[in-house]
Structure formats: C-alpha cells, structure tokens
Amino acid sequence: MKGYQIFRFLLFLLFLFVMIAGVFVWKSYHASLLEKKIYQQSSAPPSAPLIERKLFSFPNHSLQVLEEEFTNLVSHIVPSVVSITSMDAPSCETVLRKFFGFTHDSTSSSNKMGSGIIVSKSGDIITNWHVIKDAIEVTVQLDDGRSLAAKLVGFDEQADIAILNIQADHLTPIAFGNSDLVKVGQKVVAVGNPFGLQETVTDGIISAKGRRALNEPSYEFFQTSALINPGNSGGPLVNIHGEVVGINNFIISRSGGAEGLGFAIPSNVVRRIYNDITQYGHVINPWFGVVLCALNKPLTKTSGAVITGVLLNSPAEKAGIKIGDVITDFNNYSIKDSLDLRRCVEQTKIGECVPLTIQRYGRILSLSITIEEEPSPNISH
C-alpha cells in the first residue's frame, strides 16, 4: 500500500513536469514568432504606401483650402504690381570729369530700382518719391513683361509719394482698403521688386501702428513683419481681402537687409494725396495756423499740445485760440502731444468744422474751428 502511494506521487510529479514544460514550450514558441515579426518590420525599408495610407486616412481640408486662398490672393495682387527703374542725371563732377577726359566710363548715369502699384485703368501708378527723384528717365515693367516709359504726374515730397502714368491697355488696377480699420496682428502680404527680383511675395502681420519717422512727425507708419528689402519701396502692403492698406516705404536694419522691421505709409494718406494730385494738380494741405511745442511732462500731468504762436488770419486765430492754450481734444480725438494734433489736422477735410477742447489758465473751454487750405501749398508738378 505504501509503495502504491509513492507511485501515485511520482506519477503526479511527472504530470506536473509535463504541464510546466508544455507551457514553457508554448510561450517560447509564440515569443519567437513575435520577435521574428518585429525584426522583419524593423529591418524592412520604409514603406511609402504605409505613410500615404496614414496621411490620406486623415485629410486636412482646412489647410488645403487655406493654401488655395493664399495663392489666389497672390494671383490677384501680382498683375497690379510693377517694377520701376529710374535713371538719374549725371552729377556735375561726372560731367566735368568726362569733359576733360579723366574718365571714359560711358555709364555716367546711375539707376535706381523700386516698385509701384497700378491704381487706374488709365495707367496711373503710385510709388515712392525717393524711387524716381532726380530721374531723367523712368521705365515701368509690367507683370506680363511689357516695358514702358512713364511720365511724372505729380508728387508730395513730404509724404514720399509720387504719381506716374503709362500709356497701355489691359491694365489691372488694385483697390485701396481703409487703413483706419487696420489692426495690429492682422495678416498682410508685401509684393515688390527687391534687388531686381520681380514679383517677390512675402507675408507677415501688422506689428504696430502709429510709428513716426524722425524727419517728418506729421505722418505715421504701419510697422510690419513682412520682409521688405531695397527695391520693395513703392510696392503694396495688402490685406487678406486683396486691398492695399499701405505703401512700403523704408526699413530699419543693422545689416542692410530685411530684419522684419518694415514700415509702410497708410493707404488713406496715399489715397488722399493721389486724389489731390489727379484732381487739383497738387496736394491740398489742411491749415490750422499755430506754432506748437511739447508739454514739459515733469511739470504737468496734463496731456495735450501747447500753442506757442498763432498766425494772423489763420483758422486758429478766427476760432479764438491764444498763445498758452493747451489743446486736449480735437474733433473728439484725445490729444496726447503736438504730434497727435498734427496727425488729426492732416486727416481733416478742407472746410470741415471740428470741435476743440482747450485748457486756458486752468479753465476748460470748448471751441470750434473750420480748417482751411494752406495758403502756400506745396505745388507738386
């Protein structure tokens, strides 16, 4: 009986051993199959169809639509942008050196390059004045390859705007947008002729508004991150609706190239100058008739423009403005300094009567003034 129990125990151990061995063999077999499959997948060359299946299984229609809209926008803008080459007259020194035989260089004139925009079917083109200043010959090249001579219609040196005209058919003018509605952060596109490379397109945003140049505080500029290089001057800064909101004017750069600090003249300023030149032959400048200075901030907390002089028979004298008055509000716009007042006057129409708020010896007074045309306008043709 005892031997039978030992036999049963040994038989149980044998069965247990067989079961454990079977489980071990089964796991080893499946592990080897898995390892072989992983090895085959890792050692196989990259499968393009696998990548394509992943991409096309999740199509992003929004990105495709966005790309198509952007390329359509550029296609709309480019035919209205021109390249401008101006040939300057030779300097007196160059003429004398050539006359006396000190130089045999036949290229006695220098060329400047810039950009411009077509704004009418009759061939009017807007560009920067500095692009064609002192030029004896101006050539405009269109998007379709035509190269045409241009004549000067008029200019405003203060605003750095010039109007050219070409005689051509099948022109594509571009529309102006309202630059007063431009917001910081909105998307814009710059198109031009940098370094002679026609139809160069860059994009960016409006980085800031109200930037002022050191040489002319009356005008403000848009700052943009759209890359602008030499040759972009006079080209358009366009919103996503295909409207010109600015004319590219200058850059700030330590290297001489684009560093994302470009500046453009707001389109409302450009449109006003264009309308004045084409309708009246010169720019009509609004006239206020005062001499201004900045407030001494450490001595006063008041913001505004201080009147230090009033011209005879000027709109300011007729309105009752006196020396020492501080203008704090003009046409319902708060005036922080004299630059603010100049900008507001510049945007006022001739003959428009606007309200004023002034401080005079501690008293707050409300006046009204009718803006007139400047007696000695800057004749620009």
The sign of the CA dihedral 50, 54, 57, 63 is: negative
Structural contact between residues 370 and 315, judged by C-beta atoms closer than 8 angstroms? yes
Q: Which residues contact 124 (CB under 8 A, 6 or more apart)?
A: 118, 153, 163, 164, 165, 274, 278
The shares of helix, strand and coil residues in the chain, as percent rounded to the nearest 5, are 30, 30, 35
Q: Which of 109, 118, 183, 174 is nearest to 150 (CA)?
A: 118
- DSSP 8-state secondary structure symbol assigned to residue 204: E
Q: Which residues contact 142 (CB under 8 A, 6 or more apart)?
A: 82, 148, 168, 171
Q: Which amino acid is at 296?
A: N
Residues carrying an active site annotation: 130, 160, 233
SS (HEC) of 86-130: EEECCCHHHHHHHHCCCCCCCCCCCEEEEEEEECCCCCEEEEEHH
**Cβ atoms within 10 Å of 76's Cβ, excluding its own:** 14
